[in-house]
């Protein structure tokens, strides 16, 4: 019967007749863009196939490249202790918990991870979700309501924006890291809404800079909003021991109402968390749809994250090394005349290009010379703010950093000299 099934499936054409998805305007726009880049001989750098564990190096098309496109900031993904913890959890619990935690999916390893996260921030409790993106969507979308106000940084991640949109609350943006502008919005509007949430990131994923957390806390005390900080990129990166933006800014983490983070960067897994008061966590555990109606986190992922916390605690020198590597990258880049925006080398370093097409072409040129760094183009960043984004890891060697910067500066200069991008894109 199996063979018959396969034969029948093979005989059927894969494409449906009258596939109306093909008419979606966004899809047509993507196809047009692809046709233009093909015409210009610029290959698409997205969805490239990698093999093995991505860190300071990665494997593309059977080659080993120096890699600046991985969130593996402290080199913990691929660490034997992390892999062993994940394998042991699979042996014990299986691959899935096969139910929502509320009903039959609760396992000791979930509670262990959540205790670990809460202790990391010195707060009462934490709750783990199966996706980082879904954590922001579920928490913000569920906590906030149409009569409320959400104010967030103009560079806030898509998951914050989607959560805010779904909540139905009034949304206001303030220019990136401009807390005077934030205060103006609060002074004018905070009193006319029931709940007010201010959402920022611990380390911005596009520019590699961070907010003045101490001032945010004092604004919170003055205006009485809920302060939410997304630590996706700052956990393990900021602060002397990797305890994030609170440690970096000398702020008591208990002064932040809602800590949000992901397991997909330093913690080498997949998933997200909210940490804060016991009441906040209890509320989400019993009522947030993205938690209640979703399967519990796979045990292997929870175990890997716990092993990463162990390593972070035991080997804080990884954080020091990451910072030294970032500073080296930025110094060398500036010496070479590259524009790194406001980044000081905290794990994320943009190299500004401006034109989207030029950024894509530059990324391809670098890969030809053994350096993998991805372009970030509109709409992820504003038009004319296209850049290559370099994610630094503690595992990069000084030689790898110097070589990558030299190649980037060389190719960047060649494309600028040729006028590639702006004129061609406009033509």
Q: 309 to 338, contacts with ligand PMP by CB under 6 A?
A: none
The reply to whether omega before 379 is within 30° of 0 (cis) is yes
Of 286, 295, 242, the residue nearest 99 (C-alpha):
295
Q: With respect to ligand PMP, which residue has the nearer C-beta, 79 or 133?
A: 133
Helix, strand and coil in the chain, % to nearest 5: 50, 15, 35
Nearest residue (CB) to ligand PMP, 159 versus 400: 159
The minimum distance between CB 71 and ligand PMP, in angstroms, equals: 7
Q: Site for ligand PMP (CB under 6 A): how many residues?
A: 14
Cα→Cα distances 310→54, 55, 396, Å: 21, 19, 22
State yes or no: residue 132 binds ligand PMP (CB under 6 A). yes
Task: Show the CA angle centred on residue 104, arms to residues 103 and 108, nearest 5°.
Answer: 115
Q: Which helix (H) or strand (E) holds 108?
A: helix 108-121
Residues near 66 by Cβ (< 8 Å), separated by ≥ 6? 56, 57, 370, 371, 372, 396, 400, 403, 404
- Among residue numbers 149 through 178, which ones bind ligand PMP (CB under 6 A)? 157, 159
| Residue 343 annotated as catalytic | no
Looking at 6-14, 132-140, 364-372, 376-384, which segment touches ligand PMP (CB under 6 A)? 132-140
Region of 4-12, 104-112, 228-236, 334-342 interacting with ligand PMP (CB under 6 A):
228-236
Mark the segment that binds ligand PMP (CB under 6 A) among 128-136, 273-281, 320-328, 416-424: 128-136
**Least distance to ligand PMP from the beta carbon of 90, Å?**
21
- 72 interacts with ligand PMP by CB under 6 A: no
| Segment contacting ligand PMP by CB under 6 A, of 55-63, 226-234, 239-247, 381-389 | 226-234
Q: Which of the following is catalytic: 265, 332, 361, 396? A: 265
Catalytic residue among 70, 131, 159, 205: 205
The answer to whether 45 and 363 have CB atoms below 8 angstroms apart is yes
Cα separation of 283 and 300, whole Å? Answer: 26
Q: What is residue 20's three-state secondary structure?
A: helix
Q: Any idea which residue has 């009485």 for tokens?
A: 224
Between the CA atoms of 211, 213, 217 and 219, what dihedral angle is there, to the nearest 10 degrees? -30
Asked if residue 76 binds ligand PMP (CB under 6 A), the reply is no
Give DSSP secondary structure letters for 38-49.
HHTT----TT--
- DSSP per-residue string spanning 125-190: EEEEES-HHHHHHHHHHHH--TT-EEEEETT--HHHHHHHHHHT-EEEEE-TT-HHHHHHHHHHHG
Does 133 bind ligand PMP (CB under 6 A)? Our answer is yes
* Beta carbons within 8 Å of 46's beta carbon, 6+ residues apart: 374
**Which of the residues 34 through 53 are near ligand PMP (CB under 6 A)?**
none
Please choose, out of 126-134, 214-222, 311-319, 412-420, the segment that lies near ligand PMP by the rule CB under 6 A.
126-134
Minimum Å distance from CB 29 to ligand PMP?
24
Selected from 58, 131, 294, 400, the binder of ligand PMP by CB under 6 A is 131
Tell me, yes or no, if 378 is annotated catalytic. Answer: no
Least distance from ligand PMP to the Cβ atom of residue 41, Å: 31
Instruction: State which of residues 114, 148, 153, 201 lies at the interface with ligand PMP (CB under 6 A).
Output: 201
Q: Minimum Å distance from CB 203 to ligand PMP?
A: 8
User: Hey, which residues between 232 and 271 contact ligand PMP (CB under 6 A)?
Assistant: 232-233, 262, 264
* Token representation of residue 114: 């959540």
DSSP-assigned letters across all residues of 391-402: E--TT--HHHHH
The binder of ligand PMP chosen from 65, 148, 207, 230 (CB under 6 A): 230
Active-site residue 414, yes or no? no
The residues assigned a catalytic role are 205, 233, 265
Chain positions contacting ligand PMP, by CB under 6 A: 131-133, 136, 157, 159, 201, 205, 230, 232-233, 262, 264, 272
């Amino acid at each position: 019967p199996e063979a018959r099934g396969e034969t029948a499936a093979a005989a059927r054409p894969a494409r449906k007749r009258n596939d109306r998805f093909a008419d979606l305007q966004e899809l047509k726009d993507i196809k047009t863009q692809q046709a233009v880049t093909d015409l210009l001989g610029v290959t698409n750098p997205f969805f490239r196939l990698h093999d093995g564990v991505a860190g300071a190096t990665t494997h593309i098309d059977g080659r080993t490249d120096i890699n600046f496109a991985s969130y593996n900031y402290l080199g913990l993904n691929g660490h034997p202790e992390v892999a062993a913890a994940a394998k042991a959890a699979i042996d014990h619990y299986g691959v899935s918990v096969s139910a929502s935690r509320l009903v039959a999916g609760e396992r000791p390893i979930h509670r262990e991870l959540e205790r670990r996260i809460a202790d990391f921030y010195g707060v009462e409790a934490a709750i783990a979700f199966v996706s980082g993106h879904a954590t922001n969507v579920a928490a913000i979308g569920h906590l906030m309501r149409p009569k409320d106000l959400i104010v967030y940084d103009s560079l806030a991640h898509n998951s914050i924006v989607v959560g805010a949109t779904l909540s139905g609350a009034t949304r206001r943006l303030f220019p990136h890291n401009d807390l005077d502008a934030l205060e103006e919005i609060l002074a004018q509007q905070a009193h006319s809404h029931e709940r007010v949430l201010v959402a920022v990131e611990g380390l911005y994923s596009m520019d590699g800079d961070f907010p003045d957390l101490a001032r945010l806390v004092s604004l919170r005390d003055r205006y009485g909003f809920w302060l939410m900080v997304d630590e996706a990129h700052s956990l393990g990166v900021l602060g002397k021991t990797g305890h994030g933006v609170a440690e970096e800014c000398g702020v008591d983490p208990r002064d932040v109402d809602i800590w949000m983070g992901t397991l997909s960067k330093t913690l080498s897994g997949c998933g997200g968390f909210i940490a804060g008061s016991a009441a906040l966590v209890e509320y989400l555990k019993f009522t947030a749809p993205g938690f209640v109606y979703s399967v519990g986190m796979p045990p292997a992922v929870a175990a890997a994250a716990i092993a990463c916390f162990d390593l972070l605690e035991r080997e804080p020198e990884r954080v020091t090394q990451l910072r030294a590597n970032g500073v080296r990258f930025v110094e060398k880049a500036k010496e070479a005349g590259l524009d790194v925006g406001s980044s000081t080398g905290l794990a994320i370093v943009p190299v500004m290009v401006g034109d989207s097409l030029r950024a894509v072409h530059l990324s391809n040129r670098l890969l030809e010379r053994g350096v993998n760094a991805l372009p970030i183009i509109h709409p992820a960043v504003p038009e004319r703010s296209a850049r290559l984004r370099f994610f630094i890891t503690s595992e990069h060697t000084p030689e790898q950093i110097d070589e990558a910067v030299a190649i980037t500066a060389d190719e960047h200069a060649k494309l600028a000299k040729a006028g590639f991008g702006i004129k061609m894109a406009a033509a």
